[in-house]
Chains A and B, each alone.
Chain A
Protein backbone atom coordinates (compact mmCIF):
# COMPACT_ATOMS: atom_id res chain seq x y z
CA UNK A 1 0.00 0.00 0.00
CA UNK A 2 1.24 3.48 -0.82
CA UNK A 3 1.87 5.82 2.06
CA UNK A 4 -0.57 8.68 2.31
CA UNK A 5 0.28 12.13 3.53
CA UNK A 6 -2.50 13.46 5.66
CA UNK A 7 -2.82 17.24 5.82
CA UNK A 8 -1.24 18.51 9.05
CA UNK A 9 -3.52 19.38 11.99
CA UNK A 10 -2.24 22.96 11.75
CA UNK A 11 -3.15 23.39 8.08
CA UNK A 12 -6.63 21.96 8.73
CA UNK A 13 -6.90 24.20 11.81
CA UNK A 14 -6.09 27.29 9.72
CA UNK A 15 -8.69 26.25 7.14
CA UNK A 16 -11.19 25.84 9.96
CA UNK A 17 -10.29 29.31 11.22
CA UNK A 18 -11.20 30.79 7.82
CA UNK A 19 -14.51 28.93 7.78
CA UNK A 20 -15.28 29.97 11.37
CA UNK A 21 -14.61 33.63 10.58
CA UNK A 22 -16.76 33.54 7.44
CA UNK A 23 -19.60 31.88 9.32
CA UNK A 24 -19.32 34.34 12.21
CA UNK A 25 -19.20 37.55 10.22
CA UNK A 26 -21.92 36.50 7.76
CA UNK A 27 -24.49 36.39 10.55
CA UNK A 28 -24.71 40.16 10.74
CA UNK A 29 -26.98 40.38 13.79
CA UNK A 30 -24.76 38.04 15.79
CA UNK A 31 -21.54 39.83 14.87
CA UNK A 32 -23.11 43.21 15.46
CA UNK A 33 -24.56 42.26 18.84
CA UNK A 34 -21.40 40.60 20.13
CA UNK A 35 -19.33 43.61 19.10
CA UNK A 36 -21.47 46.59 19.78
CA UNK A 37 -22.71 45.56 23.22
CA UNK A 38 -19.57 46.32 25.28
CA UNK A 39 -18.87 49.46 23.24
CA UNK A 40 -22.45 50.64 23.71
CA UNK A 41 -22.39 50.01 27.47
CA UNK A 42 -19.10 51.90 27.63
CA UNK A 43 -20.48 54.87 25.73
CA UNK A 44 -23.58 55.07 27.94
CA UNK A 45 -22.11 54.35 31.39
CA UNK A 46 -18.99 56.35 30.66
CA UNK A 47 -21.07 59.40 29.69
CA UNK A 48 -23.34 59.10 32.72
CA UNK A 49 -20.52 58.83 35.27
CA UNK A 50 -17.88 60.87 33.50
CA UNK A 51 -16.24 62.70 36.41
CA UNK A 52 -12.61 63.28 37.16
CA UNK A 53 -11.31 60.75 39.70
CA UNK A 54 -7.99 62.48 40.07
CA UNK A 55 -5.96 64.92 38.04
CA UNK A 56 -6.12 63.88 34.40
CA UNK A 57 -7.95 60.57 34.94
CA UNK A 58 -11.70 60.32 34.38
CA UNK A 59 -14.17 57.57 35.27
CA UNK A 60 -14.77 57.08 31.53
CA UNK A 61 -11.12 56.21 31.05
CA UNK A 62 -11.16 53.72 33.92
CA UNK A 63 -14.29 52.15 32.48
CA UNK A 64 -12.70 51.92 29.03
CA UNK A 65 -9.73 49.96 30.40
CA UNK A 66 -12.04 47.59 32.28
CA UNK A 67 -14.38 47.20 29.31
CA UNK A 68 -11.51 46.04 27.09
CA UNK A 69 -11.30 43.10 29.49
CA UNK A 70 -15.07 42.56 29.65
CA UNK A 71 -15.30 42.82 25.86
CA UNK A 72 -12.82 40.09 25.08
CA UNK A 73 -14.52 37.84 27.61
CA UNK A 74 -17.71 38.33 25.59
CA UNK A 75 -15.95 37.46 22.33
CA UNK A 76 -14.25 34.42 23.87
CA UNK A 77 -16.24 32.91 26.73
CA UNK A 78 -19.79 33.92 25.80
CA UNK A 79 -19.22 33.54 22.06
CA UNK A 80 -17.75 30.03 22.30
CA UNK A 81 -20.19 28.69 24.85
CA UNK A 82 -22.90 29.49 22.30
CA UNK A 83 -21.10 28.56 19.08
CA UNK A 84 -19.76 25.18 20.27
CA UNK A 85 -23.21 24.26 21.61
CA UNK A 86 -24.61 25.29 18.23
CA UNK A 87 -22.06 23.12 16.41
CA UNK A 88 -23.29 20.19 18.45
CA UNK A 89 -26.92 21.03 17.84
CA UNK A 90 -26.75 21.54 14.06
CA UNK A 91 -24.62 18.47 13.32
CA UNK A 92 -21.33 20.26 12.56
CA UNK A 93 -19.45 18.22 15.15
CA UNK A 94 -21.10 14.97 14.17
CA UNK A 95 -20.07 15.47 10.58
CA UNK A 96 -16.52 16.44 11.52
CA UNK A 97 -16.24 13.34 13.65
CA UNK A 98 -16.71 11.24 10.53
CA UNK A 99 -13.79 12.93 8.77
CA UNK A 100 -10.03 12.67 9.35
CA UNK A 101 -10.03 16.14 10.94
CA UNK A 102 -8.30 16.00 14.34
CA UNK A 103 -10.22 17.55 17.25
CA UNK A 104 -7.19 19.78 17.82
CA UNK A 105 -7.85 21.45 14.43
CA UNK A 106 -11.41 22.20 15.45
CA UNK A 107 -10.17 23.97 18.58
CA UNK A 108 -7.52 25.79 16.55
CA UNK A 109 -10.25 27.13 14.27
CA UNK A 110 -12.28 28.37 17.25
CA UNK A 111 -9.25 30.06 18.81
CA UNK A 112 -8.48 31.83 15.53
CA UNK A 113 -12.07 33.07 15.45
CA UNK A 114 -11.83 34.28 19.03
CA UNK A 115 -8.49 36.06 18.51
CA UNK A 116 -9.72 37.95 15.48
CA UNK A 117 -13.06 38.81 17.08
CA UNK A 118 -11.37 39.86 20.34
CA UNK A 119 -8.86 42.08 18.55
CA UNK A 120 -11.66 43.75 16.62
CA UNK A 121 -13.60 44.19 19.87
CA UNK A 122 -10.60 45.74 21.61
CA UNK A 123 -10.04 48.21 18.78
CA UNK A 124 -13.71 49.19 18.93
CA UNK A 125 -13.75 49.71 22.71
CA UNK A 126 -10.46 51.61 22.68
CA UNK A 127 -11.83 53.70 19.81
CA UNK A 128 -14.82 54.73 21.91
CA UNK A 129 -12.49 55.44 24.86
CA UNK A 130 -10.17 57.62 22.80
CA UNK A 131 -12.93 59.52 21.03
CA UNK A 132 -15.40 60.03 23.89
CA UNK A 133 -13.18 60.03 26.99
CA UNK A 134 -9.80 61.20 25.65
CA UNK A 135 -8.09 58.03 26.79
CA UNK A 136 -4.35 58.44 26.18
CA UNK A 137 -2.80 55.33 24.58
CA UNK A 138 0.45 54.31 26.27
CA UNK A 139 3.71 54.92 24.41
CA UNK A 140 5.83 52.72 26.68
CA UNK A 141 6.54 49.36 24.94
CA UNK A 142 6.53 47.64 28.36
CA UNK A 143 2.85 48.58 28.74
CA UNK A 144 2.04 47.05 25.37
CA UNK A 145 3.93 43.91 26.34
CA UNK A 146 1.68 43.66 29.41
CA UNK A 147 -1.29 44.27 27.12
CA UNK A 148 -0.18 41.40 24.87
CA UNK A 149 0.21 38.77 27.56
CA UNK A 150 -2.94 39.73 29.46
CA UNK A 151 -4.81 39.60 26.15
CA UNK A 152 -3.44 36.17 25.20
CA UNK A 153 -3.94 34.61 28.64
CA UNK A 154 -7.47 36.03 28.93
CA UNK A 155 -8.50 34.89 25.46
CA UNK A 156 -7.07 31.38 25.86
CA UNK A 157 -8.42 30.78 29.38
CA UNK A 158 -11.87 32.19 28.61
CA UNK A 159 -12.09 30.32 25.30
CA UNK A 160 -11.36 27.03 27.05
CA UNK A 161 -13.89 27.75 29.80
CA UNK A 162 -16.39 28.72 27.09
CA UNK A 163 -15.93 25.40 25.29
CA UNK A 164 -16.36 23.53 28.57
CA UNK A 165 -19.48 25.57 29.36
CA UNK A 166 -20.92 24.62 25.97
CA UNK A 167 -20.65 20.98 27.04
CA UNK A 168 -22.85 21.70 30.05
CA UNK A 169 -25.49 23.39 27.94
CA UNK A 170 -28.22 21.23 26.49
CA UNK A 171 -28.74 23.50 23.50
CA UNK A 172 -27.33 26.63 21.92
CA UNK A 173 -30.04 28.68 23.59
CA UNK A 174 -29.23 27.34 27.01
CA UNK A 175 -25.56 27.96 26.17
CA UNK A 176 -26.38 31.65 25.92
CA UNK A 177 -28.10 31.61 29.32
CA UNK A 178 -25.51 29.42 31.04
CA UNK A 179 -22.72 31.81 29.99
CA UNK A 180 -24.44 35.18 30.20
CA UNK A 181 -25.63 34.82 33.78
CA UNK A 182 -22.14 34.35 35.29
CA UNK A 183 -20.66 36.80 32.77
CA UNK A 184 -22.97 39.66 33.66
CA UNK A 185 -22.95 39.02 37.43
CA UNK A 186 -19.18 38.70 37.52
CA UNK A 187 -18.82 42.00 35.65
CA UNK A 188 -20.70 43.70 38.48
CA UNK A 189 -18.76 42.13 41.36
CA UNK A 190 -15.43 42.41 39.53
CA UNK A 191 -15.56 46.19 39.46
CA UNK A 192 -16.14 46.61 35.73
CA UNK A 193 -19.33 48.70 36.01
CA UNK A 194 -18.83 49.75 39.63
CA UNK A 195 -15.63 51.70 39.68
CA UNK A 196 -13.39 52.13 41.40
CA UNK A 197 -13.52 48.54 42.57
CA UNK A 198 -12.85 49.69 46.16
CA UNK A 199 -16.50 50.80 46.38
CA UNK A 200 -17.55 47.14 46.40
CA UNK A 201 -17.87 45.07 49.60
CA UNK A 202 -14.62 43.18 50.17
CA UNK A 203 -16.43 39.83 50.33
CA UNK A 204 -17.82 40.29 46.82
CA UNK A 205 -14.42 41.09 45.39
CA UNK A 206 -12.98 38.04 47.14
CA UNK A 207 -15.51 35.89 45.28
CA UNK A 208 -14.73 37.68 42.01
CA UNK A 209 -11.01 37.09 42.59
CA UNK A 210 -11.46 33.40 41.82
CA UNK A 211 -12.50 34.20 38.24
CA UNK A 212 -10.64 35.62 35.22
CA UNK A 213 -12.71 38.73 34.61
CA UNK A 214 -11.50 40.66 37.67
CA UNK A 215 -7.86 40.03 36.76
CA UNK A 216 -8.30 40.72 33.08
CA UNK A 217 -9.95 44.09 33.75
CA UNK A 218 -7.29 44.92 36.35
CA UNK A 219 -4.53 43.91 33.94
CA UNK A 220 -5.84 46.31 31.29
CA UNK A 221 -6.23 49.10 33.85
CA UNK A 222 -2.52 48.68 34.54
CA UNK A 223 -1.85 49.20 30.84
CA UNK A 224 -4.05 52.22 30.18
CA UNK A 225 -4.05 54.09 33.52
CA UNK A 226 -1.19 55.87 35.28
CA UNK A 227 0.44 54.04 38.19
CA UNK A 228 -0.99 56.65 40.58
CA UNK A 229 -4.33 54.87 40.07
CA UNK A 230 -3.17 51.81 42.02
CA UNK A 231 -4.66 53.37 45.14
CA UNK A 232 -8.09 52.58 43.69
CA UNK A 233 -7.28 48.87 43.51
CA UNK A 234 -8.14 46.51 46.37
CA UNK A 235 -4.49 45.65 47.02
CA UNK A 236 -3.18 49.13 46.24
CA UNK A 237 -1.09 47.62 43.44
CA UNK A 238 -1.58 46.26 39.90
CA UNK A 239 -0.69 42.71 41.07
CA UNK A 240 0.47 41.62 37.63
CA UNK A 241 2.13 38.47 39.01
CA UNK A 242 -1.13 37.36 40.57
CA UNK A 243 -2.98 38.19 37.35
CA UNK A 244 -0.67 35.93 35.37
CA UNK A 245 -1.03 33.21 37.98
CA UNK A 246 -4.86 33.23 38.10
CA UNK A 247 -5.29 33.46 34.32
CA UNK A 248 -2.62 30.78 33.78
CA UNK A 249 -4.35 28.50 36.27
CA UNK A 250 -7.64 28.98 34.43
CA UNK A 251 -5.95 27.97 31.17
CA UNK A 252 -4.99 24.66 32.76
CA UNK A 253 -8.33 24.13 34.51
CA UNK A 254 -10.19 25.13 31.33
CA UNK A 255 -8.22 22.69 29.20
CA UNK A 256 -8.84 19.82 31.62
CA UNK A 257 -12.56 20.66 31.79
CA UNK A 258 -12.72 20.87 28.00
CA UNK A 259 -11.18 17.48 27.48
CA UNK A 260 -13.22 15.88 30.25
CA UNK A 261 -16.59 17.20 29.16
CA UNK A 262 -16.33 17.43 25.35
CA UNK A 263 -19.24 15.78 23.54
CA UNK A 264 -19.68 15.34 19.79
CA UNK A 265 -23.47 15.22 19.91
CA UNK A 266 -26.48 15.70 22.15
CA UNK A 267 -27.70 12.19 21.55
CA UNK A 268 -27.59 10.06 24.68
CA UNK A 269 -28.18 6.35 24.67
Chain B
Protein backbone atom coordinates (compact mmCIF):
# COMPACT_ATOMS: atom_id res chain seq x y z
CA UNK B 1 0.00 0.00 0.00
CA UNK B 2 1.15 3.49 -0.77
CA UNK B 3 1.55 6.02 2.02
CA UNK B 4 2.60 8.92 -0.18
CA UNK B 5 1.99 9.37 -3.88
CA UNK B 6 3.21 12.51 -5.65
CA UNK B 7 3.18 13.37 -9.35
CA UNK B 8 4.44 16.53 -11.04
CA UNK B 9 4.66 18.59 -7.85
CA UNK B 10 5.64 22.20 -8.44
CA UNK B 11 5.91 25.21 -6.17
CA UNK B 12 7.36 28.63 -6.96
CA UNK B 13 8.22 31.47 -4.61
CA UNK B 14 8.59 35.01 -5.94
CA UNK B 15 12.27 34.59 -6.78
CA UNK B 16 12.78 30.86 -7.06
CA UNK B 17 11.21 27.67 -8.39
CA UNK B 18 11.52 25.76 -5.12
CA UNK B 19 10.02 22.52 -6.38
CA UNK B 20 10.27 21.88 -10.11
CA UNK B 21 8.34 18.74 -10.87
CA UNK B 22 8.76 16.01 -8.27
CA UNK B 23 7.40 12.45 -8.40
CA UNK B 24 7.51 10.33 -5.25
CA UNK B 25 6.12 7.00 -4.12
CA UNK B 26 6.59 5.98 -0.52
CA UNK B 27 5.24 2.65 0.63
CA UNK B 28 3.56 1.93 3.96
CA UNK B 29 6.08 0.83 6.54
CA UNK B 30 9.00 2.28 4.65
CA UNK B 31 11.68 4.57 6.10
CA UNK B 32 12.38 7.15 3.43
CA UNK B 33 15.07 9.83 3.61
CA UNK B 34 15.11 13.07 1.63
CA UNK B 35 18.61 14.40 1.11
CA UNK B 36 19.72 17.63 -0.46
CA UNK B 37 21.55 20.87 0.16
CA UNK B 38 19.86 23.79 1.93
CA UNK B 39 17.47 25.51 -0.44
CA UNK B 40 17.10 22.44 -2.66
CA UNK B 41 13.37 22.16 -2.00
CA UNK B 42 13.33 19.48 0.73
CA UNK B 43 11.52 21.54 3.32
CA UNK B 44 9.00 22.93 0.84
CA UNK B 45 8.21 19.43 -0.38
CA UNK B 46 7.75 18.11 3.16
CA UNK B 47 5.61 21.10 4.14
CA UNK B 48 3.32 20.43 1.20
CA UNK B 49 3.05 16.76 2.22
CA UNK B 50 2.21 17.86 5.79
CA UNK B 51 -0.54 20.15 4.53
CA UNK B 52 1.24 23.28 5.75
CA UNK B 53 1.90 24.79 2.36
CA UNK B 54 -0.12 25.09 -0.82
CA UNK B 55 1.25 23.63 -4.04
CA UNK B 56 1.09 25.31 -7.43
CA UNK B 57 0.72 22.17 -9.53
CA UNK B 58 0.70 18.40 -9.32
CA UNK B 59 -1.22 15.68 -7.55
CA UNK B 60 -0.43 14.74 -3.96
CA UNK B 61 -1.94 11.96 -1.91
CA UNK B 62 -0.85 11.33 1.67
CA UNK B 63 -2.53 8.40 3.43
CA UNK B 64 -5.11 8.47 0.66
CA UNK B 65 -6.05 12.14 1.00
CA UNK B 66 -5.06 15.47 -0.48
CA UNK B 67 -3.14 17.32 2.27
CA UNK B 68 -4.45 20.63 0.91
CA UNK B 69 -8.03 19.78 1.89
CA UNK B 70 -7.75 16.98 4.47
CA UNK B 71 -9.26 17.56 7.91
CA UNK B 72 -8.61 16.69 11.53
CA UNK B 73 -9.23 12.96 11.08
CA UNK B 74 -6.39 12.88 8.59
CA UNK B 75 -4.11 14.99 10.75
CA UNK B 76 -4.72 12.63 13.68
CA UNK B 77 -3.01 9.90 11.64
CA UNK B 78 0.18 11.94 11.15
CA UNK B 79 3.05 12.76 13.45
CA UNK B 80 5.20 15.77 12.71
CA UNK B 81 8.53 16.48 14.39
CA UNK B 82 9.77 19.90 13.38
CA UNK B 83 13.16 21.47 13.88
CA UNK B 84 13.90 23.64 16.90
CA UNK B 85 11.17 24.46 19.36
CA UNK B 86 11.43 25.74 22.92
CA UNK B 87 7.77 25.57 23.85
CA UNK B 88 6.10 24.09 26.95
CA UNK B 89 9.07 25.25 29.02
CA UNK B 90 7.20 25.39 32.33
CA UNK B 91 5.45 22.04 32.03
CA UNK B 92 6.98 18.74 33.03
CA UNK B 93 7.80 16.10 30.43
CA UNK B 94 4.97 13.88 31.67
CA UNK B 95 2.43 16.73 31.73
CA UNK B 96 3.33 17.72 28.18
CA UNK B 97 3.04 14.20 26.79
CA UNK B 98 -0.24 13.59 28.64
CA UNK B 99 -1.61 16.87 27.33
CA UNK B 100 -0.79 16.15 23.70
CA UNK B 101 -2.23 12.65 24.03
CA UNK B 102 -5.63 14.29 24.60
CA UNK B 103 -5.69 15.67 21.06
CA UNK B 104 -5.87 12.21 19.48
CA UNK B 105 -8.59 9.59 19.11
CA UNK B 106 -6.22 6.64 19.73
CA UNK B 107 -3.24 7.86 21.70
CA UNK B 108 -0.42 5.69 22.97
CA UNK B 109 -0.22 5.41 26.76
CA UNK B 110 1.85 8.41 27.88
CA UNK B 111 3.93 6.17 30.17
CA UNK B 112 4.74 3.87 27.23
CA UNK B 113 5.84 6.86 25.15
CA UNK B 114 8.08 8.07 27.99
CA UNK B 115 9.70 4.65 28.15
CA UNK B 116 10.00 4.25 24.39
CA UNK B 117 11.77 7.59 24.10
CA UNK B 118 14.04 6.93 27.07
CA UNK B 119 12.68 9.82 29.13
CA UNK B 120 11.89 7.87 32.33
CA UNK B 121 14.47 9.71 34.40
CA UNK B 122 13.27 13.09 33.17
CA UNK B 123 9.53 12.43 33.27
CA UNK B 124 8.99 14.74 36.25
CA UNK B 125 11.43 17.44 35.14
CA UNK B 126 10.42 20.77 33.67
CA UNK B 127 10.90 20.85 29.91
CA UNK B 128 13.14 23.93 30.18
CA UNK B 129 15.69 21.88 32.16
CA UNK B 130 16.22 19.28 29.41
CA UNK B 131 19.42 18.95 27.39
CA UNK B 132 19.32 19.29 23.62
CA UNK B 133 19.16 15.54 23.08
CA UNK B 134 16.47 15.03 25.72
CA UNK B 135 14.46 17.89 24.26
CA UNK B 136 14.65 16.24 20.84
CA UNK B 137 13.44 12.93 22.29
CA UNK B 138 10.50 14.82 23.78
CA UNK B 139 9.81 16.27 20.32
CA UNK B 140 9.64 12.74 18.97
CA UNK B 141 7.52 11.65 21.94
CA UNK B 142 4.97 14.35 21.06
CA UNK B 143 5.15 13.32 17.42
CA UNK B 144 4.31 9.68 18.15
CA UNK B 145 1.90 10.02 21.09
CA UNK B 146 -1.06 9.96 18.71
CA UNK B 147 -0.01 6.56 17.26
CA UNK B 148 0.70 8.02 13.80
CA UNK B 149 0.69 5.85 10.70
CA UNK B 150 3.10 8.30 9.11
CA UNK B 151 5.83 10.23 10.91
CA UNK B 152 7.71 13.22 9.48
CA UNK B 153 11.10 13.97 11.02
CA UNK B 154 12.88 17.15 10.00
CA UNK B 155 16.65 16.95 10.58
CA UNK B 156 16.11 15.06 13.82
CA UNK B 157 19.69 14.75 15.06
CA UNK B 158 21.24 18.11 14.18
CA UNK B 159 23.51 19.14 17.04
CA UNK B 160 23.70 15.68 18.65
CA UNK B 161 26.87 14.10 19.94
CA UNK B 162 27.70 10.72 18.34
CA UNK B 163 26.39 8.70 21.27
CA UNK B 164 23.09 10.58 21.37
CA UNK B 165 22.70 10.07 17.64
CA UNK B 166 23.14 6.31 17.98
CA UNK B 167 20.51 6.20 20.73
CA UNK B 168 18.20 8.24 18.59
CA UNK B 169 18.67 5.95 15.61
CA UNK B 170 17.71 3.05 17.85
CA UNK B 171 14.44 4.83 18.66
CA UNK B 172 13.64 5.42 15.00
CA UNK B 173 14.42 1.80 14.18
CA UNK B 174 12.04 0.67 16.93
CA UNK B 175 9.26 2.82 15.47
CA UNK B 176 9.95 1.53 11.98
CA UNK B 177 9.85 -2.05 13.27
CA UNK B 178 6.35 -1.31 14.63
CA UNK B 179 5.26 -0.48 11.08
CA UNK B 180 5.28 3.33 11.24
CA UNK B 181 6.02 4.89 7.87
CA UNK B 182 8.81 7.43 8.37
CA UNK B 183 9.87 10.29 6.14
CA UNK B 184 12.99 12.04 7.32
CA UNK B 185 15.09 14.87 6.01
CA UNK B 186 18.71 14.97 7.03
CA UNK B 187 22.10 16.43 6.21
CA UNK B 188 23.88 13.39 7.59
CA UNK B 189 24.51 10.74 4.97
CA UNK B 190 25.53 8.11 7.49
CA UNK B 191 22.16 8.71 9.14
CA UNK B 192 20.32 8.12 5.88
CA UNK B 193 22.42 5.02 5.28
CA UNK B 194 21.75 3.63 8.75
CA UNK B 195 18.03 4.29 8.85
CA UNK B 196 16.51 4.55 5.41
CA UNK B 197 15.17 1.78 3.20
CA UNK B 198 15.30 4.24 0.33
CA UNK B 199 16.64 7.73 -0.18
CA UNK B 200 15.93 10.46 -2.70
CA UNK B 201 18.39 13.24 -3.45
CA UNK B 202 16.79 16.60 -4.23
CA UNK B 203 18.74 19.26 -6.02
CA UNK B 204 17.35 22.50 -7.44
CA UNK B 205 13.80 21.36 -6.88
CA UNK B 206 14.16 18.05 -8.68
CA UNK B 207 14.88 14.50 -7.63
CA UNK B 208 18.23 13.65 -9.17
CA UNK B 209 18.55 10.12 -7.78
CA UNK B 210 16.39 7.70 -5.86
CA UNK B 211 16.93 4.22 -4.49
CA UNK B 212 18.23 2.15 -1.59
CA UNK B 213 21.26 3.90 -0.04
CA UNK B 214 23.58 1.07 -1.12
CA UNK B 215 22.58 1.40 -4.76
CA UNK B 216 22.23 5.14 -5.09
CA UNK B 217 23.86 6.64 -8.16
CA UNK B 218 25.01 3.17 -9.28
CA UNK B 219 27.08 2.76 -6.12
CA UNK B 220 26.84 -1.03 -6.09
CA UNK B 221 28.16 -1.43 -9.62
CA UNK B 222 30.61 1.43 -9.86
CA UNK B 223 34.36 0.85 -10.07
CA UNK B 224 35.85 -0.31 -6.81
CA UNK B 225 39.24 0.67 -5.52
CA UNK B 226 41.44 -2.27 -4.38
CA UNK B 227 44.44 -1.42 -2.22
CA UNK B 228 47.13 -3.66 -0.70
CA UNK B 229 50.84 -3.63 0.18
CA UNK B 230 53.62 -5.63 -1.43
CA UNK B 231 57.43 -5.35 -1.62
CA UNK B 232 57.12 -2.22 -3.77
CA UNK B 233 54.86 -0.44 -1.26
CA UNK B 234 51.16 0.49 -1.52
CA UNK B 235 49.34 -0.70 -4.61
CA UNK B 236 46.03 0.76 -5.83
CA UNK B 237 43.90 -0.54 -8.71
CA UNK B 238 40.53 0.74 -9.90
CA UNK B 239 38.45 -2.04 -11.33
CA UNK B 240 34.82 -2.91 -12.11
CA UNK B 241 35.63 -6.55 -11.14
CA UNK B 242 37.40 -6.48 -7.79
CA UNK B 243 36.58 -10.12 -6.97
CA UNK B 244 38.37 -11.33 -10.08
CA UNK B 245 41.39 -9.14 -9.32
CA UNK B 246 41.71 -10.42 -5.77
CA UNK B 247 41.40 -13.99 -7.04
CA UNK B 248 44.35 -13.45 -9.32
CA UNK B 249 46.40 -11.70 -6.66
CA UNK B 250 45.89 -14.46 -4.13
CA UNK B 251 46.70 -17.37 -6.47
CA UNK B 252 49.86 -18.12 -4.50
CA UNK B 253 47.81 -18.56 -1.34
CA UNK B 254 49.68 -15.84 0.54
CA UNK B 255 48.00 -13.08 2.52
CA UNK B 256 47.76 -9.68 0.90
CA UNK B 257 48.90 -7.15 3.47
CA UNK B 258 46.45 -4.31 4.20
CA UNK B 259 43.90 -5.45 1.61
CA UNK B 260 40.88 -3.14 1.24
CA UNK B 261 38.10 -2.96 -1.35
CA UNK B 262 36.16 0.30 -1.33
CA UNK B 263 33.13 1.40 -3.25
CA UNK B 264 32.33 5.10 -3.42
CA UNK B 265 30.74 6.21 -0.13
CA UNK B 266 27.23 7.56 -0.09
CA UNK B 267 28.79 10.92 0.60
CA UNK B 268 30.91 10.77 -2.57
CA UNK B 269 27.93 9.73 -4.67
CA UNK B 270 25.84 12.45 -3.08
CA UNK B 271 28.41 15.17 -3.71
CA UNK B 272 28.65 14.03 -7.33
CA UNK B 273 24.89 14.27 -7.65
CA UNK B 274 24.48 17.71 -6.14
CA UNK B 275 27.93 18.94 -7.14
CA UNK B 276 26.58 21.25 -9.81
CA UNK B 277 24.76 23.32 -7.24
CA UNK B 278 27.79 24.11 -5.13
In the complex the two chains form, what is the Cα distance from A231 to B73 in whole Å? 59
Residue of A nearest to B105 (CB): A4
A99 pairs with B106, CB closer than 8 A:
no
Count the A-B residue pairs with Cβ separation under 8 angstroms: how many? 77
In the complex the two chains form, what is the Cα distance from A256 to B5 in whole Å? 37
Interface residues of B in 84-118 (CB under 8 A from A): 84-91, 95, 99-100, 102-106
Residues of B within 8 A of A95 (CB): 82, 85, 87, 142
B76: interface (CB < 8 Å): yes
Residue of A nearest to B75 (CB): A100
**A: number of interface residues (CB 8 Å):** 26
Which of A11-19, A117-125, A133-141 is near enough to bind chain B? Answer: A11-19
Which of A47-55, A84-92, A145-153, A184-192 is near enough to bind chain B? Answer: A84-92
Residues of B within 8 A of A7 (CB): 102-105
In the complex the two chains form, what is the Cα distance from A259 to B78 in whole Å? 26
A102 pairs with B80, CB closer than 8 A:
no
B90 pairs with A87, CB closer than 8 A:
no
Residues of A within 8 A of B146 (CB): 99-100
Interface residue from A11, A19, A102 paired with B91 (Cβ < 8 Å): A19
Interface residues of B in 132-153 (CB under 8 A from A): 142-143, 146
A99 pairs with B87, CB closer than 8 A:
no
**B: number of interface residues (CB 8 Å):** 30
Min Cβ gap A253→B in Å is 28
B75 pairs with A99, CB closer than 8 A:
yes
Residues of A within 8 A of B142 (CB): 95
B191: interface (CB < 8 Å): no
A90 pairs with B90, CB closer than 8 A:
no
In the complex the two chains form, what is the Cα distance from A90 to B127 in whole Å? 13
A98 pairs with B82, CB closer than 8 A:
yes
Interface residue from B80, B88, B105 paired with A5 (Cβ < 8 Å): B105
B231: interface (CB < 8 Å): no
A100 pairs with B102, CB closer than 8 A:
no
In the complex the two chains form, what is the Cα distance from A30 to B196 in whole Å? 46
Residues of B within 8 A of A91 (CB): 82, 84-87
Residue of A nearest to B76 (CB): A100
Residues of A within 8 A of B90 (CB): 22-23, 26-27
- Chain B 24-50 interface mask (CB, 8 Å, partner A; 1/0): 000000000000000000000000001
Residue of B nearest to A105 (CB): B103
Residues of B within 8 A of A23 (CB): 88-91
Min Cβ gap B129→A in Å is 13
In the complex the two chains form, what is the Cα distance from A68 to B102 in whole Å? 36
Residues of A within 8 A of B102 (CB): 7, 11-12, 15
Residues of A within 8 A of B13 (CB): 269
In the complex the two chains form, what is the Cα distance from A188 to B52 in whole Å? 44
From A27, A92, A98, name the one whose CB has the most chain B CB atoms within 10 angstroms.
Answer: A98
Residue of A nearest to B53 (CB): A269
Residues of B within 8 A of A101 (CB): 103
Residues of B within 8 A of A99 (CB): 75, 80, 100, 103-104, 146
Residues of A within 8 A of B106 (CB): 4
B72: interface (CB < 8 Å): yes
Min Cβ gap A55→B in Å is 50
Min Cβ gap A147→B in Å is 32
B82 pairs with A94, CB closer than 8 A:
yes
Residues of B within 8 A of A90 (CB): 85-87, 89
A142: interface (CB < 8 Å): no
B87 pairs with A98, CB closer than 8 A:
no
Min Cβ gap A209→B in Å is 39
In the complex the two chains form, what is the Cα distance from A94 to B86 in whole Å? 11
Residue of B nearest to A91 (CB): B85
A97: interface (CB < 8 Å): yes
Interface residue from A4, A19, A27, A100 paired with B99 (Cβ < 8 Å): A19
19 example contacts (A-B, Cβ-Cβ < 8 A) are as follows: A5-B105, A15-B102, A18-B99, A22-B91, A23-B89, A91-B84, A91-B86, A91-B87, A94-B82, A94-B85, A98-B52, A98-B82, A98-B143, A99-B75, A99-B100, A99-B146, A100-B73, A100-B146, A269-B13
Please name 8 further chain A to chain B contacts, defined as beta carbons within 8 Å, in addition to the given A23-B89, A98-B50, A98-B79, sorted by A numbering.
A6-B104, A7-B105, A12-B103, A19-B99, A92-B85, A98-B78, A99-B103, A100-B76
